[in-house]
Structure 1
Amino acid sequence: MSTESLPSRAKTVIIGAGAVGCSIAYHLTELGADDVVVVDQGPLPVTGGSSTHAPGIMFQTSPSKIQTKTAHYTSRLLKDAGVYTEVGGIEVARSEERMDFLRRRVEWATSYGLPEPQLLEPKEVSERLPLVDEEEILGGYYSPTDGQVAGTDALQWYIETSSARFFGDTEVTDIETGGGEIQAVVTDNGRIECDRCVLATNNWAYQTGQMAGLDLPITPVEHQYVVTDPLEELRGNEDAIGDATAGLEVPGDSQITEFMAQPPDRPVGRDQDNSLYFRTHGDGYGLGSYNHEPLVVDPDEMGKNDEDSQASVHSFTEKHWTKATHPDREKSPQQAFDELLPATEGKDFRVTENGIFVYTPDGMPVLGETAAVDGLWTGLAIWWTHSGGYGKILAEWMENGVPRLPSGPVDTSGIHVNRFEPHAGCKDYFTDRGGKRYEQVYSIVEPRWQPDDHRGLRVSPFYGQQQELGAEFYQSGGWETPQWYESNADLVSKYEEQIPERDGWQGVNRSPIEGAEHLHTRENVSMFDMTTFSSIMVEGEDAGDFLQRICSNDMDVDTGRVRYSTMLNEGGTILADITVARLDEDEYMVTTGGGNSPGIHGSWLQEHAPDTVSVTVEESAKCTVGLWGPKSRLLLQRVTDADVSNDEFPYFSCKRLYVGDVPVIALRVSYVGELGWELWAPSEYGQKLWNTLWEAGQDLDVRAMGGGALESMRLEKGFRLWGTDIDTDVNPLEAGLPFAVDLDTEFIGKEALVEAKEEGIDTEVACLTLDDSTDVMLGGRPVLADGEAVGYVQAGDYGYSVGESIAYTYLPSEYADAGTSVQIECEGETYDATVRDEPLYDPGRNKIIR
């Protein structure tokens, strides 16, 4: 902790000295960064944020790989620091549905490398947690390395260990930017010019973002926690209260900070069926509850410390403890705890709080450099559980250009600050969605679950026609995207022998119509709405040279040609896979996926473009129809004067043409492995485009096709999906994309990729099929060989054309050869599977290039 005056300049300023800001500072300086300054509006280390009022419980297992990996890294880091108590964690089940969920916990933990996850019988739970009534539970999930971090001690350790300079009682009043770059951080104690600034303000993220002109969609929400009076059953467990904050300035009630710093003496517990968790505090029990209606705090109203309270601790609202206010829970927190931990019944509380922490619309953290302001980075919406890991990831990203943990590069698609849609910054939207994520935090969320609020935000020009066809809309990136169409229900009987019945968890929110649409497209012609995909126009005299530097493939193509490529980061891992169409000498159209792709990929191109190149992200400016199937040429030729024969319009070429009256950029590419085109048109022409194709194709039995069919078709063909099969955690050689790399050209990431190739690629993508089952494999489930986890399912679906259940994974090279036998664990069952050569469908490409 610095005693000097606030400097007028620093290379890096971190705003926020809680768990996240301290972790970022520690990891930056560990990597050799110098001149790092950390400021916070509160005293150090008890700043008034959530880091010292949180009970510090760390359950590491998550369906998300990056959440699990960052949690495990955090627990190891803080254990080595001596501020983490590793007592294990037990999650109990009070329903059969929850027991199924706990089996999934074991599978996720196995996939992502947590040590020794196991299921427990009720008696085994009560042996470790004697106060739990075993008659109330069906069993439990035990993770032996779960535990608790002492927040105050951990913050002090970070501050004392890091070579960064820390300044408390320093309120940030403005963030100065100019020319799209960070310039300075203004505080009530002075102005600090800087090259980089990191927002690590969690509860105040929206407010600090506003200072830089950003609408960060981060919602503060209240959360209840109490500590009981002493329990007779815990007599003898008394620990001294008052040591953790000795000599420290503590805003508000110091008892809260003191009790949260106390380590538990037995496993920490969760009762997710009732949205509860618990841990010991000496001779009392700490009881935490998500079991109440979301108590959303207006992000503009997050206040400051005063003489009586910490800024992020609100008064305890007793009604949310004694009454059942959660929309999905029948019991109140009090009733549920009385049943599970009878010793706590009727006890008064020594400590009570409604502590505040934050949620994003998708429940994931916010990391990375903002697209709007160069040099302005974010490390937000992160809890103690993951703070060490995300601090490491962000520090590596800032210093070396590659987000990574010691185990290797990480997937950033789900955590990137630029992933949010244009509407996500609306306060009503993100506070509603943040509240919903709070409500769901311990819920069993079904595969393909869909929200029911804020729907119809983004619709393609084809929305009216899709409604008439009975589209089952799923929301993706705010877009309403058809998953299947009820109008195609008549096809199910035609193909019923090729469509397996689905039941159980793997069949939830699926329809046999998806399989029927898949098979129909293989035989006839279908129209797929690709409007969620984005076009990025790259223009200017140096556009070709720029794309060559950005893309891993050789981009020296003739006008009218299309090339598939990857974009890599400095570490040689995949930032995006893109299709590039050369429309004219100095005009290119780059196409990428929907969802978070426009923000992440578009900002990367804009950031790296020289002044002589214009990059325009056309999110929503164009609508697109995928016209696919063996009859697609016949249909397209009916509605255009252009020659679309194979000789005049070959595979991976492009043309400007008219579909009826509609001006279209047509790309001869297909994401389903059939003859076909992508037809890109200005959005205002969309209805006319759809109707022209639809009316001309009626005698060809043209059908609309949804996203369910697309997924199974692309897996049969082995086409990759960014954010699922490929991302910044793999390089294109590992991903089986050597054809997208030309090492005779110069591009970002080449040096690292060449180094990886020379060292040897020891992990490879692998296509698996089940030996004797048609069940669908779910993402994140472990792949086993010789009794050990060697990978996990990246994507899985049933291949209706090949008649096999398909799963894609990455395996150590010694297991990646075709013919190798492996197993997949999914939903408590073990499936035999075999590595196969890919693609499974039409390996000679006879269908797609005819």
Structure 2
Amino acid sequence: MNANDSLPDQADTVIVGAGIVGCNLAYQLTDLGRDDVVVVDQGPLPTTGGSSSHAPGIMFQTSESKILTKFANYSRKLYSELEDDTGTQAYNEVGGIEVARSDERMDYLQRRVEWGKSWGLPNPQLLSPEEVEEKLPLVDSDVIQGGYYSPTDGQVSGVVACAALAREAMDRGAKFVPHTRTHDIDTQDGEVQSVLTENGTIECNEVVIATNIWARQLGEKLDVHLPVTPVEHQYTMTEPLDELADNRIDVSDHPLYENYKSVSGDKTDRLLAGPDRPILRDQDNAMYFRTHGDSYGIGSYNHEPVVPDPQELGGNDSDGEQGSVHEFTEYHMNNATHPDRPDKAPRQASNELLPATEGKELEHKYNGMFAESPNGLPVMGPVEELEGLWTAAGIWVTHAGGAGKALAEWMERGVPRLPDGPIDLAHADVNRFDAHEGSWEFARDIGGEEYRIVYNIMHPKWVWTDHQRDIRRTPMYHSHKELDAELWAEAGWEEPQWFESNADLVAKYGDQIPDREGWEGKYWSPIEGAETLHVRNKVGLHDMTSFNKMEVLGDNAGEFIQYLCTNGMDLEVGDVRYTLMCNEGGGIRADITVTRVDDDRYLLLTTGREVGNNHVAWVREQSPEDVIVNDVTSNLAAMVCTGPNARKVLSKVTDVDLSDEAFPFFTSQQFFVKNVPVTALRVSYAGELGWELYTPSEYGETLWEHLMEAGEEYDIRPYGNGALNALRIEKGFRLWGEDLHTEHNPYEANLGWAVDLDTDFIGKQAVASAADGDNISHKVACVTLDDEDVAILANRPVLDGDETIGYAHSAEYGYTVGACVVYTYLPSEYAEPGIELEILYEGERYDATVREEPLLD
């Protein structure tokens, strides 16, 4: 690899970090036509000394996360096209097998089959113990119950891939500069100006932080608090095994051998030797395995979290020091230290599964580092605080190809895309984080917890229980505690999922609430169903403070709101309108409720939880200089009083006329509830008569108490997020981030009624091209399960025979309609009411039917 040793004094784009992420991004940007790209790294090239240099490169593609699976699948295809200087393919498609040692893990492997089908992986399948041993003869089939097999899984050498990607990028004009440590990024008036390195300064328009475990260090210098946590795991390689003697490989003539050895030493002879059989994962013991010629590599996450302080990390030096590698901790290999696996040491687990390794010397061993984020997903995208600053961190070799492709499309064309279409990155967006997540205390604890659970069987509704809780409390927190709320953490907020004080309602409504005994019954209570039915029949009060709230101010605020929104936004003061925000590609960036509260002031209400901050960042990014965008989420307490008796309750504590004539649907008024000032909106995400009420935070608890007291004679009950989700899905209301996101346009989502093509808005050209339906291949479909006693969870494949035609975007039992409701996107010919389908869930095929929506009107 012939890198450019001299540092240019200017460039359009500077990528800091020439590991697998930086090389992938440079490759993709130059493929899109950019030729003024400079990549700088503190180490030598292509063996920089980061995670890409020490990683064994195993690629298990299947994940519950659609993002990670799609990234991995693209990476696999890309790496398969890459060759080193000898013409050898960088990717070894040997297949991947994950084994189970317990009934619970076998159930989990069935879920992996279903996720693989949902996300489009080729031929995911379950294997018997004997079939596992047939493909992996050194495995003792007597200690396992079976396996999951993905035939296109395999292994890639990070260094070989980096060299090939960089070579292609340089052929298209990119420059790679090694031995150049970045000290800082200079900014002015909120914009990137230049990159300051030990060898000089590069003036530039854009900078991408692709430094993985070092990302936090550079971010802190810019007051950008990136919650990227370095964590250590162990990797070892055995002495030669007699059983693998025929696989001995001499790699000393490899063109990268000397370069690799200068950084990685003698273990280079193993790391450059590719596997000759499927890669292997024993998740019950948090371990993975691959062959290195005549040696077996053993990787272990099976130890207590080891989280180094990022400010104390060393760098990568030309004398072979690797900042991403720490000394091997023998104790962690030979003792059971993992909090969830206290009975078996990693070495014992390895010996059981692969008896040929028992008693063999571990010749090469080290603690290698990688980066974790608070939700285990990448940290990527444009940083809200600084124009021209992008991130690409927390990304494994497995996912780097897809992440590089999506980010390059985002940077060059405004929309993250893979070859099969746009991909929504809301849950991987750098702007998703809240202020507390930037603290090192939070990042350290949660990064360590993410490491702990990386191979655990995790339920999709699981939330942190013992770490970093009680950070953000709504004003009604103490009232919720008094009512025995089941509190779950959402973006730091303590939010009720249900209230144990409503347990008496289960007896009243129990005949409409089917039992849940399987995987779908975990983290669920029948109280959720009882609360749902109580709101439908009487009245309920829900705390919605955590929903993101924005205030848009200025003389030209109205013009900006129209530019931002797809609907016609010529509003009078007091008008409320549902609308969409689209990106440049016509994908739905958010659905929002806009209220004009004064001549030059608007209130924007949108999804909360983990993705809400992305919407705030988007609105701010689009806003002109003469318009102010304030995030008022924490300023305002919010609640919704909803149900047939909502008007009666609210009328007891205000003199305002709440009749349909005086207070129509989708209007707003400001008045007092007893002594509390409120802004009231006649809307309800629950789909019943109701008012959303907003008040300064210090009044929130008092307002809650007023309403609960006034509603006592009507049996008002608080209700949690579980009931709200059931209420909204029956009414066909979309949930952004699940059944609504940037991968679909308004017409695919059946929300064309929220588009006014006589106005100008972001993404109009793309939206207009879909308006006639000619460019729509998929449409949203409301589906119900035919068996009224069954409830399922999302992300499972929708089938026509053996063909996967979609997946469940969201799923929840509809207690009023008496069936499980699923929202999915299907090929247009399947999205018609009456079409019969099947949904694969936990190994069972359930009959389902497409229905006319909404199910309740």
TM-score, shorter chain, exceeding 0.5: yes
Instruction: Name the CA shift for 1:293/1:631 in 2 (closer, same or farther; >3 Å).
Output: same
- Structure 2 spans left out of the alignment, 5+ residues: 83-88
Aligned mate of 1:796, from 811, 821, 831? 811
Which residue type is aligned with residue 133 of structure 2? S
Contact 1:538 1:615 in 2 (8 A): yes
Q: 1:808 maps to what in 2?
A: 823
Q: Using the alignment, how far apart are the partners of 2:24 and 2:803 within structure 1?
A: 33
Q: Structure 2 matches for 1:194-213, cutoff 5 A?
A: 194-213=204-223
Q: Structure 2 matches for 1:235-246, cutoff 5 A?
A: 235-244=245-254, 245-246=256-257
Q: 2:447 maps to what in 1?
A: 434
Which residue type is aligned with residue 126 of structure 2? L
Deviation at 1:578, TM superposition (A): 0.5
Q: 2:73 maps to what in 1?
A: 72
Partner of 2:698, secondary structure, is helix
Contact 2:790 2:819 in 1 (8 A): no
Instruction: Name the CA shift for 1:308/1:608 in 2 (closer, same or farther; >3 Å).
Output: closer
Q: Using the alignment, how far apart are the partners of 1:566 and 1:473 within structure 2?
A: 31
Contact 1:421 1:595 in 2 (8 A): no
Q: Using the alignment, how far apart are the partners of 2:257 and 2:58 within structure 1?
A: 23
Alignment: residue pair count: 842
Partner of 2:204, secondary structure, is strand
- Is 2:436 the counterpart of 1:423? yes
Instruction: Name the CA shift for 1:251/1:426 in 2 (closer, same or farther; >3 Å).
Output: farther
Q: 1:826 maps to what in 2?
A: 841
Give CA deviations for 1:636-666 in whole Å, capped at 9, x if unaligned.
Answer: 1111122211111100001111111111111
Deviation at 1:598, TM superposition (A): 4.0
Partner of 1:580, secondary structure, is strand
Contact 1:251 1:305 in 2 (8 A): no
Contact 2:314 2:322 in 1 (8 A): no
Deviation at 1:150, TM superposition (A): 1.2
- Is 2:743 the counterpart of 1:743? no
Aligned mate of 1:260, from 255, 268, 271? 271
Contact 1:53 1:256 in 2 (8 A): no
Q: 1:353 maps to what in 2?
A: 366
Contact 1:226 1:350 in 2 (8 A): yes
Instruction: Provide the alpha-carbon RMSD of the alignment.
Output: 1.1
Deviation at 1:291, TM superposition (A): 0.3
Q: 1:33 maps to what in 2?
A: 34
Aligned mate of 1:407, from 399, 420, 427? 420
Instruction: Name the CA shift for 1:75/1:249 in 2 (closer, same or farther; >3 Å).
Output: closer
Q: Using the alignment, how far apart are the partners of 1:422 and 1:690 within structure 2?
A: 27
Q: Using the alignment, how far apart are the partners of 2:64 and 2:854 within structure 1?
A: 28
Give CA deviations for 1:21-58 in whole Å, capped at 9, x if unaligned.
Answer: 00011000000112000000111111110001000000
Q: 1:273 maps to what in 2?
A: 284
Which residue type is aligned with residue 225 of structure 2? D
Q: 2:316 maps to what in 1?
A: 305
Deviation at 1:769, TM superposition (A): 0.5
Deviation at 1:261, TM superposition (A): 2.6
Partner of 1:841, secondary structure, is coil
Partner of 1:185, secondary structure, is strand
Aligned mate of 2:164, from 144, 147, 157? 157
Contact 1:13 1:37 in 2 (8 A): yes
Q: Using the alignment, how far apart are the partners of 1:138 and 1:429 within structure 2?
A: 38
Give CA deviations for 1:141-171 in whole Å, capped at 9, x if unaligned.
Answer: 0000000001111111011101311000001
Aligned mate of 1:138, from 137, 145, 154? 145
Q: Using the alignment, how far apart are the partners of 2:362 and 2:711 within structure 1?
A: 71
Contact 1:672 1:714 in 2 (8 A): yes
Which residue type is aligned with residue 166 of structure 2? I
Deviation at 1:719, TM superposition (A): 0.3
Q: Structure 2 matches for 1:672-711, cutoff 5 A?
A: 672-711=686-725
Contact 1:43 1:249 in 2 (8 A): no
Q: Using the alignment, how far apart are the partners of 1:63 and 1:95 within structure 2?
A: 20
Q: TM-score by structure 1 length?
A: 0.98
Which residue type is aligned with residue 175 of structure 1? I
Q: 1:846 maps to what in 2?
A: none
Deviation at 1:4, TM superposition (A): 5.4
Contact 2:3 2:45 in 1 (8 A): no
Q: Using the alignment, how far apart are the partners of 2:408 and 2:608 within structure 1?
A: 28
Instruction: Name the CA shift for 1:93/1:478 in 2 (closer, same or farther; >3 Å).
Output: same
Q: 1:499 maps to what in 2?
A: 513
- Is 2:326 the counterpart of 1:314? yes
Partner of 1:9, secondary structure, is coil
- Is 2:328 the counterpart of 1:338? no
Q: Using the alignment, how far apart are the partners of 1:241 and 1:317 within structure 2?
A: 28
- Give identity over the alignment, percent: 54
Contact 2:545 2:633 in 1 (8 A): no
Instruction: Name the CA shift for 1:251/1:632 in 2 (closer, same or farther; >3 Å).
Output: farther
Contact 2:427 2:611 in 1 (8 A): no
Partner of 2:718, secondary structure, is strand
Q: 1:766 maps to what in 2?
A: 781
Contact 1:535 1:617 in 2 (8 A): yes
Which residue type is aligned with residue 44 of structure 2? P
Moved more, 633-642 or 306-315: 306-315
Q: Using the alignment, how far apart are the partners of 1:564 and 1:210 within structure 2?
A: 39
Q: Structure 2 matches for 1:556-571, cutoff 5 A?
A: 556-571=570-585
Partner of 2:27, secondary structure, is helix
Which residue type is aligned with residue 254 of structure 1? G
Q: Using the alignment, how far apart are the partners of 1:598 and 1:323 within structure 2?
A: 43
Q: Structure 2 matches for 1:154-553, cutoff 5 A?
A: 154-162=161-169, 163=172, 164-244=174-254, 245-248=256-259, 250=261, 252-306=263-317, 307=319, 309-329=321-341, 330-452=343-465, 453-553=467-567
Q: Using the alignment, how far apart are the partners of 1:447 and 1:23 within structure 2?
A: 31
Q: Using the alignment, how far apart are the partners of 1:797 and 1:551 within structure 2?
A: 29
Q: Using the alignment, how far apart are the partners of 2:410 and 2:96 within structure 1?
A: 31
Q: 1:102 maps to what in 2?
A: 109
Contact 1:536 1:590 in 2 (8 A): yes
Q: Using the alignment, how far apart are the partners of 1:309 and 1:784 within structure 2?
A: 52
Q: Using the alignment, how far apart are the partners of 1:242 and 1:639 within structure 2?
A: 83
Give CA deviations for 1:102-158 in whole Å, capped at 9, x if unaligned.
Answer: 000100001111001110011100000000000011100000000000111111101
Contact 2:101 2:284 in 1 (8 A): yes
Which residue type is aligned with residue 155 of structure 1? C
Partner of 1:576, secondary structure, is strand
Q: 1:147 maps to what in 2?
A: 154
Which residue type is aligned with residue 26 of structure 2? A
Deviation at 1:250, TM superposition (A): 4.9
Contact 1:491 1:517 in 2 (8 A): yes
Q: Using the alignment, how far apart are the partners of 2:304 and 2:323 within structure 1?
A: 21
Partner of 1:559, secondary structure, is coil
Q: 2:85 maps to what in 1?
A: none
Q: Using the alignment, how far apart are the partners of 1:52 and 1:755 within structure 2?
A: 46
- Is 2:847 the counterpart of 1:836? no
Contact 2:250 2:269 in 1 (8 A): no
Give CA deviations for 1:393-418 in whole Å, capped at 9, x if unaligned.
Answer: 00000000010100101111110000
Deviation at 1:599, TM superposition (A): 2.1
Q: Using the alignment, how far apart are the partners of 2:763 and 2:261 within structure 1?
A: 48
Q: 1:848 maps to what in 2?
A: none
Which residue type is aligned with residue 413 of structure 2? N
Contact 1:472 1:486 in 2 (8 A): yes
- Is 2:739 the counterpart of 1:712? no
Q: Using the alignment, how far apart are the partners of 2:356 and 2:61 within structure 1?
A: 27
Moved more, 606-615 or 142-151: 606-615
Q: 2:21 maps to what in 1?
A: 20
